[in-house]
Amino acid sequence: MAFELPKLPYAYDALEPHIDARTMEIHHTKHHAGYTNNLNNAIAGTDLDGKSIEDILTNLDMNNMAVRNNGGGFYNHTLYWEVMKPEDKGYLSGELKDAIIAEFGSVDAFKDAFAKAAATRFGSGWAWLCVHKGGKVDICSTPNQDNPLMPGVGCGGTPILGIDVWEHAYYLHYQNRRPDYINAFFNVINWNEVEKRYAESK
Ligand code: MN3
């Protein structure tokens, strides 16, 4: 049973002006499609074939670079599309907002910490907001396509929000200005989806 490239829950231009349509289309149809195909090739005929992506990542042999890179790439981008949305729909509220304030002191302090984790990831990678059993949240970042579900990587929680800071995620529009892309990302976070993931994983 092969993994399939998920459809975006919105049009390629839906996140403009924060993330441009051309970047979204290439990112989805080339990068994410590539990870998906390469993951399927890497697991075909192995005992990983037929397992869920969460199961594969949680129990990953970190020396299996084909599955590490492409399984991470498949999962990370699927989450990334789902935790974004067109501007002005939904806002941070409820239990997740309480958990964020308990951990960081304020929503602004959380945004600063998340932006810093994303901006200071050297080279390619991701920054994450994760939840641990019991509901505590924290922030970490991972290199390449690694993910906090993988053994020994990141903070070991379940990621509920992630930002891709590979140059392919922003370079066409922002060139080298990664901090501008990170600031823009806060305008397109689908907090309803992040809160749903928090409730499911805490
Ligand atoms: Mn990417």
User: pLDDT for 75-92, tens place per residue?
Assistant: 999 999 999 999 866 689
pLDDT of residue 154: 86
56 Cα: distance to centroid of ligand 1 (angstroms): 20
* Contact indicator for 84, 15 with CB cutoff of 8 Å: yes
169 Cα: distance to centroid of ligand 1 (angstroms): 6
14 Cα: distance to centroid of ligand 1 (angstroms): 18
pLDDT of residue 88: 67
115 Cα: distance to centroid of ligand 1 (angstroms): 17
117 Cα: distance to centroid of ligand 1 (angstroms): 17
pLDDT of residue 79: 98
How far, in Å, CA of 3 to CA of 178, rounded?
Answer: 31
All domains of the chain in start order, with CATH: 20-202 (3.55.40.20)
Question: Residue 83: which of 183, 144, 164 has the closest Cα?
Answer: 164
Residue 21 φ/ψ region, left for φ over 0, alpha for ψ in the -120 to 50 degree band, beta for the rest? alpha
CA count, 13 A, side-chain hemisphere, 181: 21
Q: Which two tokens stand for residue 102?
A: 């308990």
Average pLDDT, the chain: 96
User: pLDDT for 27-61, tens place per residue?
Assistant: 999 999 999 999 999 999 999 999 999 999 999 99
First to last CA, the chain: 29
